[in-house]
Amino acid sequence: MCAAQPFAPVQFRRVRSLTVQRTSRRKGSTKAEQRAEMTEQILDSAEFLFSRHGLYGVTLKDVAKQVGVHHTLINYYFEDKKALFDSVFARRAVVTNERRMRMLEEYEKASGEKPTVEGALRAFLDTDLDLYTEGGEGWRNYAALGAQVANTPEWGAEMMDRHFDPVVLRLIGLLKKALPDCAEEEIFWGYHFVTGALMLTLARTGRIDKLSGGLCRSEDFMAIKARMATFMSAGFLAICRRKQPLQG
């Protein structure tokens, strides 16, 4: 998980303005609606901070300051920081999982008995990348957060297992159908490489921007979407052409 960094208040103006807008809308709302709106404000603010500073670089007081409330109110909604972190992570995981599962099922039905590796990967990858392109800054914050979690073996792997195993195994099943003669281990290695590239993409480190002299941008999800599934499908086909599985 990334280390704490100094906060930059200028970056928070947009979130603060959203807080003011939402506060004005709460007038005349029911208590349930007010609670729901406050919960969303807390989750949005925590997501913003966690995505930049990690679990250990953010305190509940930081979140409260970002929302504009006393820190004791955060404890009223969430038992502790880990409970808040888990809620932030789970909120959008449900959305991306449902979208990808639906697209995988629709693709399998449309492809009949002849799915392709690239078709399966596009159903899985493109559907997710569309969220980060069209979903606004909140989804991009979640993308960066997901990359952090995926690269935290102490507890992040368990979170990824819990939230994403069903949709990943759905993809694996479709890849097996597309590659019936491929050794099973090669398909799992192929997915391993796919998810590594996806997590680096979601992290948006900016490294490719510097290496390419600005020719490529880590923020350009549309450019990534146009290339990733095609590139990865070629890798699957290459390792599956081998007569014997590679030895570890």
**Nearest CA-CA partner of 150 in 198, 117, 79:** 198
Query: How does 92-101 read in b/e, with b if 16+ C-beta sit within 10 Å?
Result: bbeebbebbb
pLDDT in tens, 43-100: 999 999 999 999 999 999 999 999 999 999 999 999 999 999 999 999 999 999 999 9
| CA dist., res. 84 & res. 3, Å (int) | 19
In 3-state terms, what secondary structure has residue 135? Answer: coil
Residue 65 lies in a domain: yes
67 close to 42: Cβ distance less than 8 angstroms: yes
**Nearest CA-CA partner of 163 in 79, 87, 93, 247:** 93
pTM: 0.82
Q: Quick one: residue 161, left, alpha or beta (phi over 0 = left, psi -120 to 50 = alpha)?
A: alpha
Instruction: Tell me the CATH number at 34.
Output: 1.10.10
Q: What residue numbers bound the domain in which 155 lies?
A: 90-240
Q: Are residues 102 and 66 in the same domain?
A: no
pLDDT in tens, 186-203: 999 999 999 999 999 999
Give me the residue label for tokens 């590239």: 197
Q: State which of 77, 102, 130 marks the end of a domain.
A: 77
Determine what percent of the chain is predicted with pLDDT higher than 90.
Answer: 81
Residue 245 lies in a domain: no
Stated as kind and residue range, the H or E segment containing 17 is: helix 13-25
| CA dist., res. 3 & res. 57, Å (int) | 6
Which residues fall within 8 angstroms of residue 137, CB to CB, at 6 or more apart?
14
224 close to 129: Cβ distance less than 8 angstroms: yes
Residues in the chain: 248
Q: Are residues 131 and 176 in the same domain?
A: yes
Q: Are residues 115 and 71 in the same domain?
A: no
When divided into structural domains, the chain yields a total of 2
**pLDDT tier at 139, thresholds 50, 70, 90:** very high
Q: Quick one: residue 6, left, alpha or beta (phi over 0 = left, psi -120 to 50 = alpha)?
A: beta
In 3-state terms, what secondary structure has residue 167? Answer: helix
**Taking the mean position of all CA atoms in its chain, how far away is CA 165?**
14
Q: Are residues 73 and 100 in the same domain?
A: no
Which residues fall within 8 angstroms of residue 83, CB to CB, at 6 or more apart?
none
Checking 106-110 for CB contacts under 8 A at 24+ apart, the result is 107/174, 108/174, 108/177
Q: Are residues 62 and 107 in the same domain?
A: no
**Average pLDDT of span 155-164:** 94
